[in-house]
Amino acid sequence: MNFLAHIYLSGDDDELKIGNFIADSVKGKQYLKYPERIQKGIILHRAIDSFTDTHPIVSQSVSKLFDKYGHYSRVIMDVLYDHFLAANWKNYSDIWLKTYTEDFYKLLQDNYKVLPKKVQNFLPYMVSQNWLYSYRTIDGIEKILSQMGRRITHPVAMNLAVNELREFYSEFEEEFNAFFEELINFVKAEINR
């Protein structure tokens, strides 16, 4: 799952959201230097990634991309799944997506000092380009994938995956819906542990 899903799955706990959001920039046991709830968010993020990476429905989705995008297929699928969360946001939250994302940006800005340097560096771009809100449209997803594809060592035209998104839209959406229900239940159990 990508940023929006990780944030959403953290519920109303701001520190859990922060930890879940920054987790990819926190390696190994570095998480121990953060406050306890942020640590739990980082651990939750890792559990979500593990559940997602081994789930048969996600593998089914990824298989539609693998021939063209190889090991980047899972990264692309994470973004495409965030698209379906954003596009169907009203099914998951009573808060308007624009308000939700603006509130989250404010939370990050208010807690800027606790964010890893890597997150501090990309946060201004994330906010100015409103990444999270842009996930709701295919054009927005294309821009996000284009940016991601340029940031890797050997640039990959990840943005072209919007062609597969259009081609398999209803299949991807159905797979996302089935998977996300299971993921929500998994996360509830993890949080309660």
Count of structural domains, the chain: 1
**Structural domain that includes position 15:** 3-192
Residue 1: the pLDDT is: 62
Q: What are phi and psi of 181, to 5 degrees?
A: -60, -45
> Could you tell me where the DSSP H helices lie in 54-137?
56-69, 73-87, 97-110, 117-128, 131-134
Per-residue pLDDT, averaged over 163-178, amounts to: 97
To the nearest whole number, what is the mean pLDDT of the chain? 94
Does the pLDDT value for residue 191 go beyond 70?
A: yes
pLDDT tens profile 87-96: 999 999 999 9
pLDDT by residue (tens digit) across 26-80? 999 999 999 999 999 999 999 999 999 999 999 999 999 999 999 899 999 999 9
Of 62 and 151, which is predicted with more confidence? 62
HSE-CB at 111 with a 13 A cutoff on CA atoms is 21
pLDDT in tens, 135-149: 999 999 999 999 887
pLDDT at 103: 98
In the predicted structure, residue 154 carries a pLDDT above the cut 80: no
Sequence-distant (≥ 6) Cβ neighbours of residue 44 within 8 angstroms: 9, 10, 16, 19, 20, 187, 190, 191
Mean pLDDT within 179-186: 97
Burial of 116 (0-12, 13-18, 19+ CB in 10 A): middle
This prediction has a pTM of: 0.94
Angle subtended at Cα 79 by Cα 29 and Cα 23, rounded to the nearest 5 degrees: 15
Please give the average per-residue pLDDT across 1-17, as a whole number. 94
Tell me the residue length of the chain: 193
